Structure 1
């Protein structure tokens, strides 16, 4: 007899759920039986997910840079839907610029979402999970956190901070049954990736340059010869959130086709 979907009965919070990797994470969690509290700054995307998946998805707008708003949403979610078993930090922004041209506003905004947002959500859910003796926090970071990228200093630094924060949190709550891990994607076919190709009239050629690498920008190619689909990242998230990863914590799982040569 089948034991049923491996995440049946679990409740997950996903930030940045309205599109791209976040949307794929919601789809994968639902496929594996979880109920999802899907949040995003823009409400349209998560509302569409609630329409698509019915009672398995509850949509709420959320600005992860607002710590009080995060705490209120988590409290409301646990009051109305039940205790959170899983939290997935996906919300993120990318503002590319050489450092000498990077504005204070772009630097602050990048850290406000990519680092402070992870802190706000993780702190709120971890204190509740730790009190119950169980839970899983997964932060979607980037392989840019582990290797220098030209024009991406703010993004890379903010993601590196999010990775180390998640590991430190994992160390603090491990004895209370809460696991904290990160997934670090490389180039993934999302709106964020396409925005980097905005100046290219040939999107296929732009994708080939990413796969083949670019010596002028000191960027390696992708040994597996393909750009990731958001579902590739979502599958890694679901694995780390599941009981199959019950003995894994403080781990950073690269999902980049070998692009960083695991530098």
Structure 2
């Protein structure tokens, strides 16, 4: 269950009346984004492959009085993407906000990466972003509908990481795509930005820890792997990332587009 979010003058109203679609909604960051937007008044379509986790998310959200509907779909399938977006707009109305958080990590030395590792990583992390973003943006432009798109990438997009070549390359491509999309959609009033988390307390991060020293290595860095630690000395929470996403989607970021916001405690040293 996500933490009780701190109250602000915007809470409960900032995204009121908006329709949002979030991919990767069953994951740690995606789930936090769903709650952040729903708690701020949006009607949220939660999309993920994990139908069971989505049902639990929808049930829990509705018990809290939030407007969340679950939609199982595979972002690697153009047909499923088109189908789920059409269904969401039929049920909730035109999509105002899109957040792509769906992603996978295949950690391995470069020379041990398989063709399948590489292709599947790009199929989800990059091509998935392309499919969902263009499908939503096409509908926005056709009806002259302003909107906001956020891609959740990674600070690995700008900092080389040992054993993360496919992941880093896929996230760098996703950021570049999002900025190019933002340039072309600016004339339509559609803003496109990326949020680049660093080490965030999610199952994906924990999967990289081989023993009890894993958390300390992530926080302090590993010299032999040319990896600095986290200057703020703590991991991000999924809510930290969700707050950044919610800001970029909101009218408070009305003059921000083609930007990549790093939420990593300084781990990328301000890059």
TM (normalized to structure 2)? Answer: 0.93
Q: Does 1:229 align with 2:237?
A: yes
Within 5 A, what are the aligned runs for 1:6-17? 6-17=14-25
RMSD: 1.2
Instruction: Kindly state the Cα deviation for residue 52 of structure 1 after the two structures are TM-superposed.
Output: 1.2
Within 5 A, what are the aligned runs for 1:156-171? 156-171=168-183
CA contact (8 A) 1:18 1:44 kept: no
Structure 1 consecutive aligned stretches of length 4 or more whose deviation exceeds 3 Å: none
CA distance in 1, matches of 2:27, 2:154: 17
Structure 1 residues 198-239: Cα deviation after superposition (integer angstroms, max 9, x where no partner) = x21x2xx32121111111000011000001101000000000
Within 5 A, what are the aligned runs for 1:1-263? 5-54=13-62, 56-131=67-142, 132-197=144-209, 199-200=210-211, 202=212, 205-263=213-271
Quote the residue 2:5 is aligned against: none
In the alignment, structure 1 segments of 5+ residues that lack a partner are none
CA contact (8 A) 2:228 2:267 kept: yes
CA distance in 2, matches of 1:235, 1:175: 27
Secondary structure of 1:183's partner? Answer: strand
Instruction: Kindly state the Cα deviation for residue 133 of structure 1 after the two structures are TM-superposed.
Output: 3.1
CA distance in 1, matches of 2:52, 2:33: 17
CA distance in 1, matches of 2:172, 2:217: 25
Between structures 1 and 2, the one with greater helix share: 1
CA contact (8 A) 1:213 1:222 kept: yes
Secondary structure of 1:196's partner? Answer: coil
Further displaced range: 51-60 or 107-116: 51-60
TM (normalized to structure 1)? Answer: 0.96
